[in-house]
């Protein structure tokens, strides 16, 4: 019979069990379904909130599968443990009666054809807010509750302004759809929009990054993102039929904002795609994972970039989106009209594209310093 070891820990005013066991699929799945248990990635164990589940509850859940052994030992200081738990882990688990209303909200968004990522983002934001305000009746939630959540959860935990806006938008949409109640956003503190310049690599750095990628598939994925200014999701959703080789174009379908667009296909990139296709023979998606017919994983391509950065020696905190920014900036520096760049990137507003004028070397280098005229 297997053993589940329960380490007792106190964090702040709350008590937890840190449950460890030799891996067993049935035990793992039961922990997943338990309200009051969360997976700690750093400790590689389940953390059980003892205000929801005591020893007797765990014995009832797992007594048929394993022996439960409690260990009384001090593992780490409360301060250190608090740093390792995310703020959301310190919120009480979502009460079951709120699950259905969240599912109804998700169904409503899906019926209006919101993207999968947007539905998940809004639902996760709403779930966090409800965990904060529960057990208060959701129909009685007011703007004051949102302000309290903003001050005591978002600001006190130093979450970003974009996350703050995201949560407020999710709450506003939820109450408008489910309870037909419009939140007065004038009463809710909204952060000023941050004016952050896009991060850009030089052409030499892009070349260095691509040349350090040994695997053909990995190098081609990064090359397509840069050569076409694609988003990660757009790359992973490409199918062979989207490569319009006779026209020298790539058809990007239903990307952000449910829009289609076409981008130029470099002859050099086309030859690389043909070499790749002869070797890998993708079935459904151009870039597939280990399982044929299934798209390459979003997390996996991030790891591809990380390994390429390690080998290239580039010390900047590069993300995949930097390649898209670099594409736009290098086009602008080579003299491409800003209106065309807007179309190639799929921007709704020219103001979004104009931000690249602030980082292009050509524009800045043409400015003469008054120091030279002294």
The pair phi, psi for residue 68, each rounded to 5°, is -95, 125
Catalytic residue among 316, 321, 358, 362: 321
Catalytic residue among 253, 256, 261, 307: 256
What are the residues facing 46 on neighbouring strands?
19, 39
Is position 365 annotated as part of the catalytic site? no
Is position 347 annotated as part of the catalytic site? yes
- CA neighbor of 257 nearest in space, from 278, 276, 234: 234
∠ Cα 190 192 197 (to 5°): 140
Is position 325 annotated as part of the catalytic site? no
Catalytic residue among 127, 232, 324, 325: 324
Is position 356 annotated as part of the catalytic site? yes
- Alpha-carbon distance of 23 to 45, in angstroms, equals 10
Residue 144, token pair as written in the block: 């004051």
- Alpha-carbon distance of 120 to 110, in angstroms, equals 10
Is position 362 annotated as part of the catalytic site? no
Is position 281 annotated as part of the catalytic site? no
Which residues are the active-site residues?
231, 256, 321, 324, 347, 356
């Amino acid at each position: 019979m297997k053993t589940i070891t329960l380490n007792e820990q106190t964090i702040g005013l709350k008590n937890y069990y840190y449950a460890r066991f030799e891996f067993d699929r049935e035990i793992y799945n039961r922990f997943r379904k338990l309200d009051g248990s969360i997976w700690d990635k750093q400790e590689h164990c389940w953390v059980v909130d003892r205000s929801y589940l005591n020893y007797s509850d765990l014995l009832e859940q797992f007594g048929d599968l394993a022996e439960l052994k409690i260990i009384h030992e001090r593992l780490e200081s409360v301060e250190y443990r608090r740093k390792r738990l995310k703020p959301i882990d310190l919120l009480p688990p979502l009460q079951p009666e709120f699950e259905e209303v969240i599912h109804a909200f998700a169904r409503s968004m899906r019926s209006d054809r919101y993207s999968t990522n947007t539905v998940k983002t809004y639902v996760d934001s709403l779930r966090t807010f409800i965990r904060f305000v529960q057990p208060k009746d959701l129909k009685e939630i007011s703007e004051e509750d949102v302000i309290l959540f903003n001050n005591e959860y978002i600001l006190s935990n130093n979450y970003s302004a974009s996350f703050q806006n995201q949560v407020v938008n999710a709450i506003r949409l939820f109450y408008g759809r489910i309870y037909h109640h419009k939140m007065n956003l004038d009463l809710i503190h909204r952060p000023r929009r941050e004016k952050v310049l896009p991060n850009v690599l030089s052409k030499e750095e892009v070349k260095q990054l691509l040349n350090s990628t040994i695997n053909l598939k990995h190098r081609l994925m990064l090359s397509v993102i840069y050569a076409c200014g694609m988003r990660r999701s757009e790359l992973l959703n490409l199918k062979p039929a989207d490569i319009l080789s006779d026209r020298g174009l790539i058809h990007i379908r239903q990307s952000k904002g449910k829009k289609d667009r076409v981008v130029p296909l470099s002859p050099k990139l086309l030859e690389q795609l043909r070499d790749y296709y002869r070797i890998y023979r993708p079935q459904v998606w151009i870039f597939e994972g280990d399982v044929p017919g299934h798209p390459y994983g979003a997390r996996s391509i991030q790891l591809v970039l990380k390994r390429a950065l390690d080998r290239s020696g580039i010390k900047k905190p590069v993300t995949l989106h930097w390649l898209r920014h670099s594409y736009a900036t290098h086009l602008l520096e080579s003299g491409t009209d800003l209106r065309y760049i807007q179309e190639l990137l799929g921007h709704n507003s020219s103001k979004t594209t104009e931000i690249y004028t602030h980082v292009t070397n050509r524009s800045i280098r043409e400015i003469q310093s008054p120091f030279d005229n002294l």
